[in-house]
Every structure is written in structure tokens, then in C-alpha cells.
Amino acid sequence: MAKVAMTVNGRKVSRECEDRTLLVHFIRDQLSLTGTHVGCDTSQCGACVVHMDGKAVKSCSILAAQAAGAEILTIEGLAANGELHPVQAAFKANHGLQCGFCTPGMVMSAVDMINRYGARLDEKTVRENLEGNICRCTGYHNIVKAILAAAAEMGAAGRQAAE
């Protein structure tokens, strides 16, 4: 057993866990944050995507001990002051989900994508970057539409803040 400490959604946490505990299980089982889903356990589906030190990672492929000292952001930490994050709002407005199982991973991947590409984000880039996220319901059209809408809104908000 190892004592693992990290910051999750802005809150310092420390728990004992087995050395082989995956970050996804630490988040779900130790912290009771169940928005991060376990879909495949092979890092193929993207349902477990969280941000570690500002970058999207598949939490089923990282040991909790490897995240010691890191800043982790899960889907539960994305909204602020009762307001949906622009990506969450865009998924809702553009019907970018059906069953919702893949949605947390898609949203977290989208936020990372928008952070990396900003205004340069286009449909081709979104589709290429979603390659590691599987949705069995939607056919991706509305997911791509939602990500592009969020990128446009976040770009506009950034321009307004700079003015």
C-alpha cells in the first residue's frame, strides 16, 4: 500500500491505495468522483479522459502513484459557480450526446483540444483528435459540431476579455 497525494479539482487529497491502482479507479473508488468512466480498460475508448497537469490523459493507463503530486481535473471540476463550462454547454446545445457514457471523456478531450489549437481548430483537426475516443451512439457529427461551437465561443470570450 502506498499513500498517494495529489490535487483533484482544486482540492488536495491523500489516500492509501495498492501500488497497482489505476488513476481511474483511484478517482472513482477512493474519491467517489464517478463522472470519469471505465469503458474498456485498454486505453482504446477515451471514456476515462481527465486532465493531468493541464494535459488530457487516459486515466486507465496511468497508475495513481504516477499521478502523485499532480493537478488532476475531472469532469466534475469543469463547471464553475453552477455554470456549465462552454464545452459542456455546447454539447448540450448541439445534442453532442445520446446515452452519455462517452460524454465526460469527449468533453475533457475537447477542452484539451481547444486549449491546444484555439482558433486554428477545424472539422478535420477535431475528427483527427477524437480518434482515441469512441462513441457508439451518435456518429460524431453533433460531437464535432459541439466542439467547433465551443471553440468559437471560447475564442470570442477570450477576445472580449483582452479588449
18-27, 50-59, 115-124, 140-149: segment of lowest average pLDDT: 115-124
Output the pTM of the full model: 0.93
Strands 71-73 and 49-52: antiparallel
Contact 155, 113 (CB under 8 A): no
How far is 163 from 152, CA to CA, in rounded Å? 17
Residue 2: strand, helix, or coil: strand
Contact 129, 150 (CB under 8 A): no
Q: Is the model's pLDDT at 140 over the cut of 60?
A: yes
Ordered domains of the chain (ranges, CATH)? 2-77 (3.10.20.30), 86-153 (1.10.150.120)
**Concatenated DSSP letters for 33-87?**
-TTS--S-SSS-S-TTEEEETTEEEEGGGSBGGGGTT-EEE-GGGTSBTTBPPHH
Compute φ and ψ for 145, nearest 5 degrees. -60, -45
How far is 155 from 80, CA to CA, in rounded Å? 18
What average pLDDT does this structure show over 55-73?
A: 97
157 pLDDT band, cuts 50/70/90, is: low
Radius of gyration of the chain (CA): 16
pLDDT at res. 28: 98
Q: Is the model's pLDDT at 139 over the cut of 90?
A: no
Give residue-wise pLDDT tens across range 67-116.
Answer: 999 999 999 999 999 999 999 999 999 999 989 999 999 999 999 999 99
Contact 59, 30 (CB under 8 A): no
